[in-house]
Chain A
Amino acid sequence: MTATYKTDDSFFYVVAPMRCAYSPWFVYKWFFHDGVGRFRAVRDQEAEESKFTLADIEDLYPGVKSIGLVMDPWARAVYAYKEVIDPKKPESYRDRVKSNYPGIDLSSFSKFIMSLTKFPMLPQRHWLYNGDRPVDYLLRVEHINEDFKPIQDYFCSSVPLGLKDYDIGYKSYFTKSTREIIQKIFAEDIDSFGYQFKDGK
């Protein structure tokens, strides 16, 4: 029989890699809407701000059930680029990124991807695995409603997650070579989380 909150007293922590389209708060919001879930969610300000990994979290909170947010590595690259060059963000933000990551070229998306070979983003596995063991519940942001169902079942809850499945439509951003760069840099993520380049859009 699948465990539910009635028979299991676990508590839950949400881990999100850096540059993930959805932050932990997007998921915690559901917990605080749910009558039972709100008593089972762990928030740790330092851990969230400092982007603690699954290993860090399990060290601090032995026995915690972990929920990890993961996204398509190609979509993540587009998301990361758009986040930095977003015209709504002040110029100082871009300057700060440039000074923190001097190897990054933000003059175009292709150059940005090519510069990742010199200063790659960490793979999402870095946050979502403790050794060879992944988080207990993996939420692919592109299928977040489907992947969240086991958590709703655990809490016997009909409260909707209230999030849209994430779709950035990234195909047009990539050339053959930039697509392959992501394939190479994030091979570990692609293999671990079963992603492939979406030709559809």
Chain B
Amino acid sequence: MNILKRPPGDQFTFRLFSQLLSKVKSPKDSFYLWSMCFDPSIDNHFKYEDFPAFLPEHYYHENEMIYRRTMMDNIKNDLIILGVKDHLTSRQFNPLKERFPDMAIWLKQMANFYPDKHIILFTSLENLELDEPNMDIIPWGGDITNHQKEYLGLESLAGKNYNSRYNYLSLNRHPRPHRIMLVSKLRDLKLTEHGLVSCMFKNQISGFEPTINDSYEIYNNFSNDNVNNFKNKLANYYKETFVEIVAETSYIEPVFNLTEKTLNSIYGKSFPIFLSSAGTVEFLRSMGMDVFDDIVNHNYDKIIDPGARLHRAITDNKELLTDNVKVKTLHQKNLARFDNNVDFAKNKMYNFYATRATKQFTKIINDRNL
């Protein structure tokens, strides 16, 4: 196994990858990597000696060429197994021109480059289909599985402030197109006064002032410390709000990577409206999560057009976002369901991902006698 690069807190998939590889008897070349290894926009120059000793493997000079060469130098067998963490959308992705994220195209090209080899790809993305005859694709859970140990030890929100004047929470850090669209939509519909809204790109949106003053300094240990961010910061916002507009990482693409944003919403015990790729709500529902279908109107989930989906997600749930008395009453009535979702996040979710990946992988190696 070649470990090209790992994101922080990836033990769930890293261990799973190692365990699944051990089932393969055929000679193989296997690579575990963070998708940024082949992100064309990455060119980092770090000295890992400058950083604290623990888990520093992502601090050295790196760019896409280094990893590409490492992979090509190590591909010798007819079976290639790739474990790729994180989304496949680089900053160069143009949704107007391309159907699939640009880094997924890189994988497609790889399959074409090695037409006589069989590739098994584990991916953080749901719905990824590359239509390559020599490539099997197995989803193994998005970044929502990261920091498993820390999240298992995290106490969910103890209680809400039922005197709060706010209905909803909307957290917007990285300026992705759907977050810019969302904040603009909240402004245009005059909904911002009903929510706690952060926006790290407020300069790009005229006539809007965020109600949460966010900053980039949320992680103090060179790692994505999502659990401490929840405990120290986000929990305060969840306490004051009852609905969350979860602006996930993926939105425009048909494939999606569920992340800690969805998980935080569960631990924060809010009714969720998901701004994510079409079909996300259906997927979460099929996993066993209670998406509060009787309270939140999720009809937007089936709409493919990104603009129309966002518009419906907000307008169909306008009452939930503005009626302060109603949302609190609904919340109080459904406390047990929020606890059930926390139980889902702590147990069933990991089992779902591990079982599904294992089942699909086992079928492939049995069918192909690998």
Partner-B contacts on A (CB < 8 A): 9-11, 25, 32, 38-46, 48, 60-64
Q: A32-B56, A62-B19 are in contact. Are A44 and B29 (CB under 8 A)?
A: no
CB <8 Å contact, B54 and A39: no
Known: A44-B14, A46-B149. A63 touches B22 (CB 8 A): yes
CB-CB under 8 A for A9 and B18, given A40-B2, A43-B55: no
Chain A residues positioned under 8 Å from B336 (CB to CB)? none
The 6 nearest A-B residue pairs measured at CB: A62-B22, A61-B18, A39-B2, A11-B1, A25-B53, A63-B22
Bound-complex Cα distance A44 to B149 (A): 12
Whether B164 is near chain A, meaning CB under 8 Å from some CB there, is: no
Provide the B68-82 mask, 1 if CB < 8 A to any CB of A, else 0.
Answer: 001000100000000
- Please tell me which one of the listed residues B3, B15, B19, B149 contacts residue A39 in the complex, with CB atoms under 8 A apart: B3
B43 adjacent to chain A (CB < 8 Å)? no
Given A38-B57, A39-B70, A44-B11, also A9-B3 (CB < 8 A)? no
| B117 CB to nearest A CB, Å | 15
Determine if B3 and A42 form an interchain contact, defined as CB atoms under 8 angstroms apart.
Answer: yes
B60 CB-CB contact with A under 8 Å:
yes
List, in ascending order, chain B residues with CB within 8 A of A10's CB.
1
Question: Which of chain B's residues have a CB closer than 8 A to the CB of A45?
Answer: 9, 11, 54-55
- CB-based A-B contact count at 8 angstroms: 58
For residue A31, which residue of chain B has the nearest CB?
Answer: B57
Tell me the nearest residue of chain A to B4, going by C-beta: A39
- Chain B 1-44 near chain A by CB (<8 Å), digits 1 or 0: 11110100101001100110110000011100000000000000
- Report B75 CB to chain A, min CB distance, Å: 11
Bound complex: CA A46 to CA B53 (Å): 15
From B18, B57, B74, B149, A64 is in contact (CB under 8 Å) with: B18
What's the Cα separation between A63 and B30 when bound, in Å?
13
Interface of B is mostly: mixed
Determine which residue in A10, A25, A43 has the highest number of CB atoms from chain B within 10 A of its CB, and name it: A43
User: Within the complex, what minimum Cβ distance (angstroms) separates A197 from chain B?
Assistant: 33
Name the CB-closest residue of B to A38.
B57
Residues of B within 8 A of A61 (CB): 15, 18-19
| Chain B residues whose C-beta falls within 8 Å of the C-beta of A40 in the assembled complex | 1-3
Report A-chain residues with C-beta under 8 Å of the C-beta of B2. Answer: 9, 11, 39-40
Of residues B1, B15, B70, which shows the largest number of chain A Cβ atoms within 10 Å of its Cβ? B1
With a cutoff of 8 Å between Cβ atoms, the chain A residues found around residue B56 in the complex are 32
20 contacts between A and B (CB under 8 A): A9-B2, A9-B28, A32-B48, A32-B57, A39-B4, A39-B70, A40-B2, A42-B3, A43-B57, A44-B14, A44-B15, A46-B11, A60-B18, A60-B19, A61-B15, A61-B18, A61-B19, A62-B18, A62-B22, A64-B18
Are the CB atoms of A9 and B53 closer together than 8 Å? no
Residues from chain B with a CB closer than 8 A to the CB of A46 are 11, 149
User: In the assembly, what is the distance between CA of A60 and CA of B2, in Å?
Assistant: 17
Give complex CA distance A118, B164 in Å. 57
A25 contacts B1, C-beta separation under 8 Å: no
Q: Which residues of B in the span 229-260 have a Cβ within 8 Å of any Cβ on A?
A: none
- Complex formed: what's the CA distance from A43 to B57 in Å? 9
Instruction: Please pick, from A9, A25, A38, A42, the residue contacting B54 in the complex, using a CB distance under 8 A.
Output: A25
Assess the A60–B15 pair: CB atoms within 8 A. yes
CA separation between A10 and B70, bound complex, in Å?
15
In the bound assembly, the distance between CA atoms of A11 and B4 in angstroms comes to: 12
Residues of A within 8 A of B48 (CB): 32
- A11–B30 Cα distance when bound, in Å, is 11
* CB of B370, distance to nearest CB on chain A (Å): 15
A63 to B25, CA, bound (A): 12
Closest to A48 in B: B54
- Distance (whole angstroms) from the CB of A6 to the closest CB of chain B: 9
The residue that A63 contacts in the complex, of B6, B21, B55, B70, with Cβ under 8 A, is: B21
User: Complex Cα distance A43/B18, Å?
Assistant: 12
**Closest Cβ–Cβ distance, residue B200 to chain A (whole Å):** 28
* Closest partner residue, chain A, to B2 (CB atom): A39
What CA separation (Å) do A126 and B232 show in the bound complex? 38
How many angstroms from the CA of A8 to the CA of B181 in the assembled complex? Answer: 51
